[in-house]
Amino acid sequence: MANHIVANDVRPDTADRIAGDLIELLHRGAPAEDFARRLARAEALPEGYAGKSMLLERARMAAAVRDRLELQQQRERGMLAIIESAQDLSSRLDLTSLLNAIVSRARNLLGADLAWLSVYDAERDEFRALVADGALSPNTAGMVARRDRGMVSVVMSTRLPFTTADYLHDKRFPHDAKLDDTFLEEGIGALVGVPLIWECEVIGLLFVADRYHRLYLAQSISILCTLGTLAAVALKNAREFERANAAVAKAALDRAELERHARSIERAAEAHEQMTSLLQEALPFRPCARRSCSCSAAACWCSMKRARSSAVAPRLNSPEPPPGPTHRTGSTRWSFRARCSSAGKPDAR
């Protein structure tokens, strides 16, 4: 009887007004709290009110449509962010700038407290953090993680993303005491990591963390995985670009060295030509009397040979130089004059 009285007190158009409000809320993209209030109003209707069950169903359907629209909008924003990230990363060839852009975008996409990127060192068989964004401790940017400890061991074994809401108390992997101390100093609670894979090889790891316990949505992890794929390609391109620049620089140095060597050879050739010219002027040669010799008067090998032998061998037909204290100097001058005077005589042979 009471319910019947209450039902009579409710206005007949209450259900229509609530349904109209739900459509208006969907149209302007109202938050979930507004839909919850309309659903509470529908549930507060008396049991004997006609159409209450249908109104409740419509309110729940409107709330579900709102959640679906919000999810689609999140996916759309994520795809736009990925496209912008791809354009940004593909335009960077400087390795340091590229790494900073990767961690900054990862942090912003997930709205996290900090992010960092670790690169695999094959010689030491460990992952070393190169850049970090949002870190408070100076030790965070230089973290070193073994591939068989911490979350790294799980990601390396599965090559899939891994997330934890409470890293320091997670027992699913063996912990590294030094790494745990760094996380404790940084205040890290929740953590998600994705691998950077290039040609079936893990070349790095991208981490995003928060300083509170957080459950990361599948949509957020998917976006981070896509960013990790783009980061792997961009990182490989940047490294190849650095190798190409190093090769070009080495080729430039080799070319400069070759040019210096060529100039030194050219100078040596010019000096040799000048010395030859001076020798020809000091020792004029006559043409060779042999018919088989095709030497010119300026460069006759036979005359050169006779000139050299006359400068070294004793002169048997020449008179002895006068004795004196300047015997050697006088002999040298006398021998040179004798050779010069005998250069114009015909060959006795």
Angle between helices 95-110 and 52-90 (to 10 degrees): 170
- Alpha-carbon torsion, ordered 108, 113, 119, 120, to 10 deg: -130
Q: CB-side exposure of 11: number of CA atoms within 13 Å? A: 6
The Cα–Cα gap between 13 and 45 comes to 12
Between 105 and 325, residue with greater pLDDT: 105
Confidence check: pLDDT of 3 > 70: no
| Structural domain includes residue 88 | no
pLDDT of residue 285: 52
Rounded to a whole number of angstroms, the CA Rg of the chain reads 47
| 106 and 135 assigned to the same domain | yes
| 135 and 207 assigned to the same domain | yes
- Measure the CA angle with vertex 308, ends 306 and 309; round to 5°: 65
Confidence check: pLDDT of 144 > 60: yes
The Cα–Cα gap between 142 and 99 comes to 14
Confidence check: pLDDT of 23 > 50: yes
pLDDT of residue 117: 92
Q: CB-side exposure of 190: number of CA atoms within 13 Å? A: 13
| Structural domain includes residue 208 | yes
User: 202-222: per-residue pLDDT in tens?
Assistant: 889 999 999 999 999 888 898
Angle between helices 32-43 and 52-90 (to 10 degrees): 170
| Structural domain includes residue 206 | yes
Joined tokens for residue 41: 């109003």
| 9 and 144 assigned to the same domain | no
Average pLDDT over residues 7-11: 52
Total-model pTM: 0.56
| 107 and 216 assigned to the same domain | yes
User: 34-79: per-residue pLDDT in tens?
Assistant: 888 888 888 887 777 777 788 888 888 888 888 888 888 777 877 7
Name 36's Cβ contacts closer than 8 Å, sequence gap at least 6: 63
pLDDT of residue 310: 53
Joined tokens for residue 321: 């130089």
Distances (CA, A) of 226 to 82, 87, 215, 218, 219: 7, 13, 19, 12, 11
Question: What rounded mean pLDDT belongs to the chain?
Answer: 77
| 234 and 325 assigned to the same domain | no
| 111 and 240 assigned to the same domain | yes
pLDDT of residue 337: 45
| 70 and 157 assigned to the same domain | no
| 144 and 201 assigned to the same domain | yes
| 112 and 202 assigned to the same domain | yes
| Structural domain includes residue 295 | no
pLDDT of residue 349: 41
| Structural domain includes residue 277 | no
Phi, psi of 341 (to 5 degrees): -75, -30
The Cα–Cα gap between 137 and 118 comes to 16
Q: What's the pLDDT band for 336 if we cut at 50, 70, 90?
A: very low
Confidence check: pLDDT of 30 > 50: yes
The Cα–Cα gap between 183 and 114 comes to 12
The burial of 225, by beta-carbon neighbours within 10 Å (0-12 exposed, 13-18 middle, 19 or more buried), is given as middle
The Cα–Cα gap between 220 and 204 comes to 19
Average pLDDT over residues 216-242: 84
| 130 and 241 assigned to the same domain | yes
| 322 and 236 assigned to the same domain | no
**Domain range for 40:** 2-76
pLDDT of residue 13: 63
pLDDT of residue 232: 85
Confidence check: pLDDT of 312 > 80: no
Q: Are residues 208 and 224 in contact, defined by beta-carbon separation less than 8 angstroms?
A: yes
The Cα–Cα gap between 274 and 158 comes to 76
User: 179-210: per-residue pLDDT in tens?
Assistant: 999 999 999 999 999 999 888 888 899 999 99
| Structural domain includes residue 42 | yes
User: 107-117: per-residue pLDDT in tens?
Assistant: 988 889 999 99
Q: Which of 43, 76, 109 is the last residue of a domain?
A: 76
Count: domains in the chain: 3
Positive/negative CA dihedral, 116, 120, 123, 126: positive
| Structural domain includes residue 349 | no
Positive/negative CA dihedral, 179, 182, 187, 192: negative
Confidence check: pLDDT of 332 > 60: no
Say which CATH number the domain at 182 has: 3.30.450.40
Distances (CA, A) of 50 to 54, 60, 77, 134, 300: 9, 18, 42, 57, 132
Confidence check: pLDDT of 252 > 80: yes
Tell the residue number behind the tokens 């060779």, with chain if given: 288
| Structural domain includes residue 192 | yes
- Kindly write down the DSSP assignment for every residue of 209-232, as one continuous string: EESS-----HHHHHHHHHHHHHHH
Highest mean pLDDT among 2-6, 31-35, 85-89, 131-135: 131-135
Q: Which of 245, 265, 288 is the last residue of a domain?
A: 245
Average pLDDT over residues 245-256: 84
pLDDT of residue 245: 78
Confidence check: pLDDT of 347 > 80: no
pLDDT of residue 341: 47
Average pLDDT over residues 239-264: 83
| 237 and 318 assigned to the same domain | no
pLDDT of residue 348: 44
Average pLDDT over residues 219-228: 88
